[in-house]
Amino acid sequence: MKSDKTPKINKFIRRLYKIVNDNSFSEIQWTTDGLRFYITDKTAFMLNGLKYLSKTTEYSAFVRLLYVYGFSKSKSLNAYEEEYYHKNFKRDGDNLLPCIQRTVETKTTLLQKNTNRTPNQLQDLLQYLNNQNFKLEGEIKSLKDRVDQQDCTINGLVQLLTRIFRTNDSNKDMLLPLNITEHGSPINNELRINYDKNQVARLMADTPNIDGRLENTNIELSNNKNFLFDSDDEDSIYKTNFF
């Protein structure tokens, strides 16, 4: 019995095809022959068309996703325009859209693809990496500032507890009267403070492990710098918030 199931079209491809055909999106259009589409105004596309395709506002993320689905960047006569091509993405070719699928790349094929990319494609990828590294460097600086602040707090606690222990070597309960009569007897509202070394240990154990987070961030920054030619996880390279 034959199945009536229609071929599945990826949501991103379906929406991209729709806005290219929609005249209200003047910043993205078909070429004259209908075999390619081009973006006439990046800024206008990021404000209008991109939000329809993606949850992100980064143009570089949109370009990376095009590469994931097998699109290639064509040389445009206008330096301010960007033109993209896929053999199954053409005007009046909606029946070909199910053929456009995410490419599954091994480490070897990814290396070959990166080697054969045009300078413009490599420049887009490098720009994305630079932006990501800039963000990571900012996070590292923020974490370092928090580490310094935490060190000051811990040092203050250690100094305070050291002074307290010196006045109470027996580690017993200490009574601190809030008011004393002339005979030295406590009046009302005595404050009992129990200085327990185990409480100090628990306090130190509750300190957030910022050093570990800082190390993980540094590792992520290092991995980003090796992005182009050393990655086993295709989703880690191209993963973005498209829907």
Residue 31's domain comprises: 11-103
Q: How far apart are the first and last CA of the chain?
A: 34
- Work out the angle at residue 49's Cα, subtended by the Cα atoms of residues 45 and 50, and round it to the nearest 5 degrees: 85
Residue 229, pLDDT score: 47
Q: Which is more confident, 55 or 229?
A: 55
Percentage of residues in the chain having pLDDT higher than 70: 59
Q: pLDDT grade, residue 136 (50/70/90)?
A: confident
Q: What percent of the chain has pLDDT over 90?
A: 14
- In the chain, how many domains are there? 2
Domain boundary among 65, 88, 103: 103
Examine the domain organization and report whether 96 and 139 are in the same domain.
Answer: no
State yes or no: pLDDT of 52 exceeds 50.
yes
Q: Which of 210, 201, 206 lies closest to 146 in space, CA to CA?
A: 210
Cα angle 129, 239, 87 (rounded to 5 degrees) comes to 95
Q: Is residue 163 domain-resident? A: yes
Classify residue 117: in a domain, yes or no: no
148 within a domain of the structure (yes/no):
yes
Tell me if 137 is assigned to some domain.
Answer: yes
> Where is average pLDDT lowest: 29-33, 67-71, 113-117, 198-202?
198-202
In-domain check, residue 4? no
Q: Which of 103, 122, 154 is the last residue of a domain?
A: 103
Split at pLDDT 50, 70, 90, the class of 177 is very low
Q: Which residue has the higher pLDDT, 234 or 150?
A: 150
- CA dist., res. 142 & res. 148, Å (int): 10
Give mean pLDDT, residues 7-29: 89
- Asked if residue 202 and residue 144 are part of one domain, the reply reads yes
Output the pLDDT for position 89. Answer: 94
86 band by pLDDT with thresholds 50, 70 and 90: very high
Do 66 and 151 lie in one domain? The reply is no
120 lies in some domain: no
- Verify that 226 and 147 share a domain, yes or no: yes
Q: Give the CATH number, domain containing residue 64.
A: 1.10.10.10
Alpha helices in 22-103 (DSSP H): 42-47, 50-53, 59-68
Same domain flag for 136 and 225? yes
158 and 88 co-located in one domain: no
User: Which pLDDT band, with edges at 50, 70 and 90, does 18 fall under?
Assistant: very high
Which amino acid, one-letter code, is at 226? N
Across 11-17, average pLDDT: 91
- Does residue 112 lie in a domain region? no
pLDDT above 70 (res 23): yes
10-14, 55-59, 62-66, 193-197, range with the lowest pLDDT: 193-197
Verify that 135 and 226 share a domain, yes or no: yes
Residues 135 and 225 in one domain: yes
Residue 17, pLDDT > 70, answer: yes
Q: What CA–CA distances, in Å, run from 131 to 58, 124, 224?
A: 10, 11, 10
Q: Are 37 and 29 in contact (CB under 8 A)?
A: yes
Does residue 238 form part of some domain? no
pLDDT mean over 169-197: 46
pLDDT of 188-208, one tens digit each? 444 444 444 555 555 555 555
pLDDT, tens digit, for every residue of 90-121?
A: 999 889 999 988 876 545 555 565 565 667 77
Question: What's the mean per-residue pLDDT of the chain?
Answer: 72
Alpha helices per DSSP H over the chain? 11-21, 42-47, 50-53, 59-68, 107-116, 119-166, 197-205, 210-225, 234-238
**Do both 92 and 158 map to the same domain?**
no
* pLDDT (average), residues 69-79: 81
Residues 209, 111 contacting (CB under 8 angstroms)? no
Mean per-residue pLDDT for 156-171?
75
